[in-house]
Amino acid sequence: MKNGRATFGSRLSAILVAAGSAVGLGNIWRFPYVAGENGGGAFLLIYIGCILLLGLPVLLAEFAIGRNSRRNSVGAYKSIAEKSKGWSIIGYNSVAASFLILGFYFVVSGWTLEYFITSVTGDIAEYTSSTINAERFDAFMLHPVRPIIYTLIFVLLTHTVIVMGVQKGIERSAKMLMPLLFIILIVLSIRSITLPDGIEGLKFFFRPDFSKVTAGTFLDALGQAFFSLSISLGCMITYASYFKDDTDLRTTALNVTLLDSVVAVLAGTVIFPAVFSAGIAPAAGPSLVFITLPSIFNTMSLGAVWSAIFFLLLVLAALTSTISLHEVLTAYVHEEWHLSRKNAARAATLATALLACVASLSLGIWREYTICGSTLFDALDLLTANIMLPLGGLFTSLFVGWKMNGTVLHDEITNRGKLKFGMYRAFVILLRYVCPLLLLMIFLYNSGLFSL
């Protein structure tokens, strides 16, 4: 405990918990197909550049804000900005974005759970071709209750971890689930690469095809990097508020970034060899996981087992991320509205469950009701990814680069001078000029106000 506030037990816990937030559906489900569509190895190189130049500095900045203030993401800006209360709007943006993201993230997480159960019961054997799978997936979404039940089970799982508390719930679950996730990922990667023609998939994934790279590829890579590292949305601020005073923020940020990138690359080595081995077109878009992959598993011996392991991986990755998004809301309601932690968690669970149910129905029986031509599900994704996330990142970098007291920032990152940070000047320059400029471009590009 620190000033009556819980802290994570060890430095390793800090890394595992933050990596748990970062590693999610974005790495395993989204990264491989975005890379596949954007020139494979070429995208990977650009992505690594974005992570190092922009992701890492913003992640470190959020860690500094969180640990320095030891408050939720709204309270953190209020306390650091002191008299200029306007900055706390960044915190409100992050709480609102976490709520809206949970609205669709819970739904997709529910699907991963459904596919896991279908694999365990062996019913996945009926998913024999992409056409049949597409029909089954559509029928599942159109079912009035099934997708909602899975979504709600996922909400309850998340709620259970959150009410168990910062140490017994969040920290303990990350310490159990993250190593398991890595083991599963490595086993699946070996299985996939050793399939006939698996190496062809690897070549496709790693071979840089620069002809597919456009200016938009850079912005896609940057958006993916921010979503994947869980930055701009208050998660890392909230988690860092539970770090110990002697946690090294520099190495924690570096390790989290490394783990997150390794998982994204490993996910590609699971998906592409399997896809090539089955002779399917690689750039199959978002349906890759729920439509293409089940039929591939069915061509393998022990297909249901591999399928169950793969979807368990997705469930674990999704769960550690939904926990972090939920904690942003719980910590905010608990500390700013002065409710007990349990009641704060209940309020966050009820509100997100309601939003997720409506988002799920918006893909099913309510699909004809749209907002500006998009279903609620798509609208939540578009609004958060295109507007709230880049704006959050933009103002976070401006805040740390220009507003936060330089001595306080330096002290926080160096643990009051105990650690060396030779890159401090470069870090500040990136936050002051480079990150805001690029994030502004992403925002203008995504909102259609600027084109390349």
> Stretches 22-30, 49-57, 195-203, 412-420: which one binds ligand PFF (CB under 6 A)?
22-30
- Site membership for ligand PFF, residue 22 (CB under 6 A): yes
Out of 151, 230, 261, 298, point to the residue binding ligand PFF (CB under 6 A). Answer: 230
Q: Does 102 bind ligand PFF (CB under 6 A)?
A: no
27 binds ligand PFF (CB under 6 A): yes
Contact string (CB under 6 A) for ligand PFF, positions 233-252, x = contact: x-x-----------------
Interacting residues with ligand PFF between 266 and 295 (CB under 6 A): none
> Taking CB under 6 A as the rule, does residue 189 contact ligand PFF?
no
For ligand PFF, give the closer residue by CB, 198 or 393: 393
**Under a CB-based contact definition with an 8 Å cutoff, are residues 147 and 320 in contact?**
no
Asked if 219 touches ligand PFF (CB under 6 A), the answer is no
**Span near ligand PFF by CB under 6 A; candidates 319-327, 335-343, 353-361, 403-411:** 319-327
CB of 304 to ligand PFF, least distance (A): 26
Residue 73 contacts ligand PFF per CB under 6 A = no
The region of 211-219, 226-234, 370-378, 422-430 touching ligand PFF under the rule CB under 6 A is 226-234
Query: Which residue's CB is nearer to ligand PFF, number 25 or number 428?
Result: 25
- By CB under 6 A, which span of 126-134, 229-237, 275-283, 410-418 interacts with ligand PFF? 229-237
Min dist CB 144 to ligand PFF, Å, is 28
- Binding to ligand PFF by residue 72, rule CB under 6 A? no
Among the residue ranges 20-28, 56-64, 191-199, 330-338, the one whose residues contact ligand PFF (CB under 6 A):
20-28
> Is residue 38 a contact residue for ligand PFF (CB under 6 A)?
no
> Which region among 57-65, 225-233, 291-299, 434-442 touches ligand PFF (by CB under 6 A)?
225-233
Which of 25, 59, 240, 313 forms a contact with ligand PFF (CB under 6 A)?
A: 25
CB of 392 to ligand PFF, least distance (A): 10
- To 10 degrees, what angle do helices 303-336 and 73-81 make? 40
Pattern 146-175, binding to ligand PFF, x per CB under 6 A? ------------------------------
Owner of token pair 């089954």: 136
Distance CA 98, CA 326 (A): 7
Nearest to 76 by CA among 271, 235, 305, 300: 235
Which residue type sits at 138?
D
Q: Which residues here bind ligand PFF, judged by CB under 6 A? A: 21-22, 24-27, 98, 101, 227-228, 230, 233, 235, 321, 324-325
